[in-house]
Amino acid sequence: MMARSHPSIPVSPVDIFQVSLQHRLNTRRAWQTRRTRKREIDTRYYASSNAGQSYTHLANRQAFYRHKIIPRQLVDTNLRDTSTTIFGHKVSAPIGFAPIGINKIYHPAGELPVATVAKELNLPYCLSTAGSSPIEAVAAANGDGPRFFQLYMPHDDELTISLLTRAHESGFTACILTTDTWQLGWRHDDVATGNYAFYRGIGADLGLIDPVFRKRLQAAGIDPEMQPQEAGALWIDNVWHGRAHSWEKMPWLIKTWKEISRGKPFCLKGIQSVDDAKRAVEVGCDGIVVSNHAGRQVDGAIASLDALENIVAAVGDKTYVMYDSGIRGASDVAKALALGARFVWVGRLWVWGLSIMGEAGVRHVMKSLLADFDIFMNVAGFQSVEQIDRSALGGFMYAVLRR
C-alpha cells in the first residue's frame, strides 16, 4: 500500500486562483462566441440537460443530502491510502472517468485530453461508443493507463463484433454495456434547440472509421467526407436506435466479448432494481454499475444512491458493484462507498473542466477531486478506502429508522 502524509495529488491555492480567474475571464466570452456560430451545438445544454422536469437529477442530489458522515477522531491518518483495485488494476482512488459521448462538442481534441489525464492520474478511463474520437486514437492517448469500453449495442451483430474487436485490440480491458439508453430521454432544452450533434455532422469519428460501418455507408450510398450529416445520422441511428434489447441477448454478447477479449470482465451499466441486479449475476456479469444516467433518461426515477444499498445487500458478494450518478465531491464518493459501492464513476465534473479549459481543465477538476478525497480521509478519520463502510453514516434519518 502507498502510505503518505499529504494529499496524493497536490493542488496549490495559486493553481486554484489561476484557474478560477481564467474561468471568469473566458466563460462568458466562450459562450457568446459559440452562440454566434449558426450550426454550433450548445454544449452547456447538452452537459447539463436532464430528463423531463429534472426530478431524477434532483432526487440524486437529495439522496446525498440525506446521508451524513460521522467523522472518527484520534485516528492516526498520517499514513493513509486512497488507492483501490478494479478488475486487476491498482488505481489511485476508487474514482473513474465515466463514459460521456461526443467530447468534440466541448473541445476540438475530443476524448484525447481526457484519456491523457486519466493515464497521468492512474484513474480508469471509460470510452463511450458515442465518442467523437477513434478507439485507436484514444488508446494511444491513454498509453498504459487502465481503460474500459462502454458499449451502446447496435442491432447489427457484425458491427457490434467489430467495435468490441477494435476495443480489445486497442487495450481496453473490460466491456460495460449501457442498458438504459437505447434512445435518448426527453430532454427539453435539447429537443427545443435541435441539440443533436451527430445529425449536424459532428462527433461521429469513432464510428466513421469502423470497417463494418464503412460497408454500411457504402451500401447506403453515403460518402462520409462529402455527406457528414447523413453519415453521422446513420451512425447515431445504429447507436441510439430506439429499439430495445432484452435479457435474451445477453448470453450472446457476454460470450462474444469473452471470446474476443480472452475472458476480460463484462459489466452492465444502468441497474436500478434488485431484480435486475440478480438477473445480471445469473447471466454471468462480472460487475454492475448502479446508475440512472445522472437523471438524463427517466424523469421521476429512483435516486441511484437510494437504489444502491438494497442492490449491494442482494448481490454485493457475487459481483463487483460500482456507482454512478450525481457525484459532485469527495463526500459523495465516500457516501457511495459507505453504502456498499466498491468504485465510483464521475462524469459531469470532468466534462465541465474540458469545456472550459481543455486538458488543463480536466486535470484541474480531477486533481482537485483526488485532493478533496485525500483530505476527506484525513479529517474524517479513515486510513484506507476499505474502512469507509456503513458505520460511517448516521444522522436524523438513521435515528428515525432505528425506532
Closest C-alpha among 82, 151, 138 to residue 112: 138
Residue 208 neighbours by CB under 8 Å, 6+ apart: 214, 217, 224, 231, 232, 235
How far is Cα 218 from Cα 221, in angstroms, rounded to an integer? 5
Contact call for residues 302 and 60 (beta carbons, < 8 A): no
**Of 353, 349, 373, 352, residue with least CA distance to 362:** 353
Burial string for 213-237 (b: 16+ CB within 10 Å, else e) reads beebbeeeebebeebbebbbbbbbe
Contact 280, 315 (CB under 8 A): yes
CB-based burial of residue 23 (10 Å sphere; 0-12 exposed, 13-18 middle, 19+ buried)? middle
Q: How far apart are the C-alpha atoms of 22 and 369, rounded to whole Å?
A: 19
Of residues 57, 67, 168, 293, which has the active-site annotation? 293
Which residue's C-alpha cell is 463487483? 320
Q: In the annotation, is 293 catalytic?
A: yes
CA separation for the pair 328, 337 (Å, rounded): 14
Question: Which residues are known catalytic residues?
Answer: 293
